[in-house]
Chain A
Amino acid sequence: MSGMDVKELRIIGFLCNWCSYGGADSAGVARYKQPTDMRIIRLPCTGRMDPLFVLKALLGGADGVLVSGCHPFDCHYTSGNFYARRRLQVLKSYLPVLGIHEDRFEYTWVSASEAAKWQSVVTAFTDRIHELGPAPRLLELEDMPLRFKEGMDIWPS
C-alpha cells in the first residue's frame, strides 16, 4: 500500500452513517489494512453534504476530500444520495474555476457490507492524492516573504 511509506497527507472523508461509515467499520473489523491519511467525519446522510464543507476543507489545509454514501436506490432516507450526486457533480466541475485541482475531490458509493471495496477506495484515493502531492497553501501574512510585505505597504492601511 503505497500511501503508507511516505509522509501522510491530509485527507478528509465525509461518510454517511448508514452505508459507507458502516463499510469503513466493516473494513476495520475485518482488519483490512489501509493507508492512514484519511480522517473520517460522520454525517447522517450524504444528502447533508454541503459543498461548502468540501471547499472549507480544501481551502483550510486538506489535500484531498472524499465523500462516500449509499449506492443509488439504497439510501436510508430514500433520496439523500441523489441530492448529493447532483450537488457534488456540479461542485466538481467548478473546482478548477476556484483554482483547486478537481482530482483532490471525489465521491463514491460504498455500502455497509462492502469492506473490501472501502479498502480499495481509500487506497486508490490516497494514492491519487499522494501523486498530486500536498495542496498549495496560502500563506499567513507573517509567513510571507519580505518583498510581498513591502509591496503591500504601498497601500496605506
Chain B
Amino acid sequence: MKIGVFVCLCGSNIAATVDTERVAEIARSYPDVVFSKAEMYACSEPGQEAIREAIVEKGLEGVVVASCSPRMHETTFRRAVERAGVNRYMFEMANIREHVSWVSLDREVNTRKAAELVRAAVEKLRLNRHLTPSKFEINKRVMVIGGGVAGIQAALDMADGGLKVVMVEREPSVGGKMAKLDKTFPTVDCSACILGPKMVDLAQHPNITLHAFSEIEDVAGYVGNFAVTVRRKTPYVDWERCTGCGLCMEKCPSRKSPDVFNEGLKPTTSINIPFPQAIPKKATINPDTCIMLTKGKCGSCAKICPTGAVDFEKQDELVTEEVGAIIAATGYDVFDHAKYEEYGGGRIPDVITSMQYERMLNASGPTSGHVKRPSDGKEPKKVVFVQCVGSRDPSKGRPYCSGFCCMYTAKQAILTKDHIPDAEVYTFYIDVRAPSKMYEEFYNRARDEYGVRYLRGRPSRIYQDGDKVVVRSVDTLLQAQVEVEADLVVLAVGGEHSRGASELAEKLRISADQNGFFMESHPKLRPVETNTAGVFLAGACQGLKDIPTAVAQGTAAAAKALVLLSRDMLEADPQVARVNQSRCIGCAKCVGVCPFQAIRMGKDRWGNPKAEVVETMCQGCGVCNVACMDKAIQLDHFTDDQILAEVNALCREWT
C-alpha cells in the first residue's frame, strides 16, 4: 500500500507546540509511507487540494491526516480522499491538536507524541479495507416529543414541508410554559394571542397526529426506521366522544385537585379541561381525587355528559409509531424554591414564584388578572422581585444562568405598575443580563420609565413580620444592609432540566450534559443535532432559552429533519460487523449480546448454524466482537488486528 501523510499546522494551533515539519519527516520512515508533508490548514480548500494532488501524482492508496479530532473533520477528509478516487475508508486521522498541542506546551515531548500517534494511524491504515455503504429505505414520518412552543414550531414547519408528523405531549394539552404566560418580553404582546393560533394550526393540520397525555415507553430501531412505543395514559374519558363542552366540570363535586396549569394557586375539579384554549380541548379525570375512582361512588360527570364520554374503566393504551426521525422538545421545569430555606422555603404565603405571578397577571388565571396577596386577597402596594433563585448558585447545584429570568422580571415589574400604578416595585439582582435584540432597551424602560428600583445584591433572608414580608439583603453598590418590607415577594425561579429527561435520554440513546440538559452534537456547529443519527433537539431541553430562541431552534430542527428525509434512501454506515463463516462455530453468543438484534442465526450450505449480520441494523458498537471466542465476527474498521496494530505501534520503544 502507498500511504501519504499530511501533518496540519492548523495555523499556530498545532505548529506553536508541535514541530510539524519534523513529524512529517519522521513519518517518511514509517512502513508504506511514500509521501509526507506539513500543511498550513489541511481542512481548507488548498489543503484538501494538496491531498487530492498527492493522491493523483503519487498514486496514493491510503491517507493519514494528523490534525484535529476525527469528531471534527473525519467526514471532511473522507470526502476529500473520495474526490480523488480513493475509497473513503482508506483514511485515518491522528488527533494531534485536542490530544497533543492543546494539552501541553512542551514542544519536544509533543513532537514525539504526535509522531507516535501518526505511526499508530499508519499501522491501522495498513489493515483498512475498502468499504462501500449499502442503502436502505427511510420512513418519511417524524416524531416530535414535547408540545411546547419549540415542538409546535418544529411540527408545523415539517408538516408544511410535506412530512407526516406525530406529536407526543405528556400533559393533557400542548402549549408548554408559554401557554401559561401572560405577556411576553420584550414586546409585551399577549402570549395566548401569538401561541393560540399556532396551537389551533397544529390541531387542524392534516399532516399532524397528536397524542396528548402520552409518554414514550420505548424507542427501537435507528435513523430512518425508528419504532416508538407510546403510552396513551388513560384520561378516563373517551376523547373520541368528548366535545370539550365543560358540563362535567360544572357538575363535579370534588373540587380539591391541584390545578397544575394554575401553578397550584387554586384547586380545581377532579374532571377538568386544563385551560379554556387547551388543545386538544378534552376533559381528563384526576384519579387521585376523583370520588368515583377512589371511593366507588359519585359518577356525576358520567350522568351529565351529553355524549357519554366518561369511562371509568378505560385503561392506558400502547401504540407503536414508525418514524424516520425524532425531535426532542421536552423543555424545562422551574426550580423548586422550597429548596431555599432562607427564603421561607415555600412556607410564607405571600412569597410566590414568578410562574405563579404570571398566572395571577393573566386575565384567564385564578384571580382573573387581579394582583392579590394569597394570604388575604388584598392588592399589594409594595412588590419585591428577587432574581437568581435557583440560578447562578453552585450551593444549590445550579451554577448556570437561566437566561430568561432577568427579562421576565423586568416584564413582570412593568406589568405590576400597569396593574397597580401606585405600587412601589423593587428588584434585587446580581447582574442584569439583557443581550438580545431590544432587551437592554426593555430593561431600561422598566427602570427609567416605570420607576422600578433595582438593588444590587442577593437577599440573605426573607421572613414574615406581621402582615409584611421582609426581604433582607446587602446593597452591594451602597455597601450597606437593606431591608424592604413588602406586601408581596416574587421569586424569579430559574429553570432546570425537565423531570424524566434522563430516562428519555436513555431511551433515545442521546447524552445529557452535567446539568441534565440534552447534549448537542457540537456546541457551535451542530446545535440541534445529537450524536445519535436521526435524533434532533429543539428548545429548552437542550439548554435554557427564551421563546425567540426556542422557536428558532424548533425551525432549525425541522429543517434538519427535512434535509434528512428529503432523500428516499439513506446510506448505511458500512463500519459494521462481519462474520467469517469458516471460523464461526454457531454458538450464537454474538446474537445474545447484540443490543440491536442485528445478528441472527442462519445456516451454511451444509446446514451448519452460522451467525449472520443484518447490515442495516448493525450500529457498529463491536460488543459481538468481544463475545466471540473464535474471533469469527469482526467489526470492520475496528478489527482486532487493527486495534492491536495501534497498540503495537504505541508500545514501540522510541528511537
Pick from A22, A43, A79, A112: contact of B622, CB under 8 Å: A43
A25 within 8 A of B: yes
A128 within 8 A of B: no
Among B258-272, those with CB < 8 Å from A are none
A52 within 8 A of B: yes
Docked pose: A44 CA to B98 CA in angstroms: 18
Contact B514 A113 (CB under 8 A): yes
Contact B643 A53 (CB under 8 A): yes
Among B635-652, those with CB < 8 Å from A are 635, 638, 640, 643-644, 646-648, 650-652
Contact B509 A113 (CB under 8 A): no
Q: In the complex, what residues of B have CB within 8 A of residue A17's CB?
A: 71
Min CB gap A24→B, angstroms: 6
Which of B104-112, B223-231, B282-290 contacts its partner?
B104-112
Q: In the complex, what residues of A have CB within 8 A of residue B370's CB?
A: none
Contact B98 A36 (CB under 8 A): no
Interface string of B67-87 (1 = CB under 8 A from A): 001111000000000000000
Interface string of B400-420 (1 = CB under 8 A from A): 000000000000000000000
Contact B71 A25 (CB under 8 A): yes
Docked pose: A4 CA to B113 CA in angstroms: 13
Among B504-524, those with CB < 8 Å from A are 505-506, 509, 511-514, 519
Pick from A27, A48, A74, A77: contact of B103, CB under 8 Å: A27
Contact B650 A114 (CB under 8 A): no
Min CB gap B623→A, angstroms: 4
Among A16-68, those with CB < 8 Å from B are 17-19, 21-22, 24-25, 27-29, 31-36, 39-45, 47-53, 56-57, 60-62
Q: In the complex, what residues of B have CB within 8 A of residue A48's CB?
A: 621-623, 625-626, 635, 638, 643
Contact A76 B532 (CB under 8 A): yes
B161 within 8 A of A: no
Contact A25 B98 (CB under 8 A): yes
Docked pose: A17 CA to B509 CA in angstroms: 14
B531 within 8 A of A: yes
Chain A residues touching B, range: 35 or more
Min CB gap B205→A, angstroms: 33
A93 within 8 A of B: no
Docked pose: A73 CA to B651 CA in angstroms: 33
Query: Which residue among B97, B106, B640, B647 has the maximum number of chain A CB atoms within 10 Å of its CB?
Result: B647
A87 within 8 A of B: yes
Contact B626 A31 (CB under 8 A): no
Contact B623 A45 (CB under 8 A): yes
Docked pose: A41 CA to B509 CA in angstroms: 23
With both beta carbons as reference points, the residue of chain B lying nearest to A34 in the complex is identified as: B103
B116 within 8 A of A: yes
Contact B650 A74 (CB under 8 A): no
Given A41-B120, A48-B638: A18 in contact with B650 (beta carbons within 8 A): no
Min CB gap A91→B, angstroms: 11
Contact B505 A74 (CB under 8 A): yes
Contact B511 A74 (CB under 8 A): yes
Among A113-157, those with CB < 8 Å from B are 113-114
Contact A74 B626 (CB under 8 A): no
Contact A18 B531 (CB under 8 A): yes
Q: In the complex, what residues of B have CB within 8 A of residue A27's CB?
A: 98, 103
Pick from A28, A35, A51: contact of B98, CB under 8 Å: A28
Docked pose: A39 CA to B112 CA in angstroms: 11
Pick from B98, B104, B644, B653: contact of A24, CB under 8 Å: B98
Q: In the complex, what residues of B have CB within 8 A of residue A70's CB?
A: 511
With both beta carbons as reference points, the residue of chain B lying nearest to A47 in the complex is identified as: B623
B102 within 8 A of A: yes
B95 within 8 A of A: yes
Q: In the complex, what residues of B have CB within 8 A of residue A35's CB?
A: 104
Contact A53 B644 (CB under 8 A): yes
Contact A39 B113 (CB under 8 A): yes
Q: In the complex, what residues of B have CB within 8 A of residue A31's CB?
A: 102-103
Min CB gap B532→A, angstroms: 7
Among B48-80, those with CB < 8 Å from A are 69-72
Min CB gap A92→B, angstroms: 16
Given A39-B116, A73-B506: A10 in contact with B623 (beta carbons within 8 A): no
Q: In the complex, what residues of B have CB within 8 A of residue A40's CB?
A: 95, 99, 117
Docked pose: A28 CA to B103 CA in angstroms: 6
Contact A24 B643 (CB under 8 A): no
Pick from A24, A60, A77: contact of B619, CB under 8 Å: A77
Interface string of B236-275 (1 = CB under 8 A from A): 0000000000000000000000000000000000000000
Contact A47 B626 (CB under 8 A): yes
With both beta carbons as reference points, the residue of chain B lying nearest to A12 in the complex is identified as: B650
Pick from B120, B532, B621: contact of A80, CB under 8 Å: B621
Contact A76 B531 (CB under 8 A): yes
Among B189-230, those with CB < 8 Å from A are none
Contact B109 A76 (CB under 8 A): no
Q: In the complex, what residues of A have CB within 8 A of residue B640's CB?
A: 50, 52
Contact B103 A60 (CB under 8 A): no
Q: In the complex, what residues of A have CB within 8 A of residue B367's CB?
A: none
Q: In the complex, what residues of B have CB within 8 A of residue A36's CB?
A: 100, 103-104, 106, 109-110, 113
With both beta carbons as reference points, the residue of chain B lying nearest to A72 in the complex is identified as: B506
B595 within 8 A of A: yes
Interface string of B605-641 (1 = CB under 8 A from A): 0000000000000011111011100000001001010
Pick from B502, B512, B625: contact of A50, CB under 8 Å: B625
Min CB gap B644→A, angstroms: 6
Given A44-B622, A87-B626: A80 in contact with B651 (beta carbons within 8 A): no
Q: In the complex, what residues of A have CB within 8 A of residue B531's CB?
A: 18, 76, 112
A94 within 8 A of B: no
Docked pose: A74 CA to B71 CA in angstroms: 18
Docked pose: A149 CA to B105 CA in angstroms: 45
Min CB gap B399→A, angstroms: 12
With both beta carbons as reference points, the residue of chain B lying nearest to A18 in the complex is identified as: B531
Min CB gap B484→A, angstroms: 39
A103 within 8 A of B: no
With both beta carbons as reference points, the residue of chain B lying nearest to A57 in the complex is identified as: B647
Q: In the complex, what residues of A have CB within 8 A of residue B71's CB?
A: 17, 21-22, 25
Pick from B505, B532, B650: contact of A62, CB under 8 Å: B650
Contact A78 B104 (CB under 8 A): no
Q: In the complex, what residues of A have CB within 8 A of residue B652's CB?
A: 61
Given A18-B511, A40-B99, A57-B647: A77 in contact with B104 (beta carbons within 8 A): no
Q: In the complex, what residues of A have CB within 8 A of residue B502's CB?
A: 73
B438 within 8 A of A: no
Min CB gap B587→A, angstroms: 17
Given A61-B652, A78-B595: A112 in contact with B638 (beta carbons within 8 A): no
Contact B506 A34 (CB under 8 A): no
Contact A77 B595 (CB under 8 A): yes
7 residue pairs of the A-B complex, CB under 8 angstroms, read: A42-B95, A47-B622, A47-B626, A60-B651, A79-B595, A83-B627, A113-B514
Pairs A-B, 4 closest by C-beta atoms: A48-B622, A28-B98, A61-B651, A77-B621
Chain B residues near A (Cβ < 8 Å) = 69-72, 95, 97-100, 102-106, 109-110, 113, 116-117, 120, 502, 505-506, 509, 511-514, 519, 531-532, 575, 593, 595-596, 619-623, 625-627, 635, 638, 640, 643-644, 646-648, 650-653
7 other contacts beyond A45-B621, A47-B626, with CB at 8 A cut-off? A29-B102, A32-B103, A33-B104, A44-B575, A52-B644, A76-B532, A77-B619
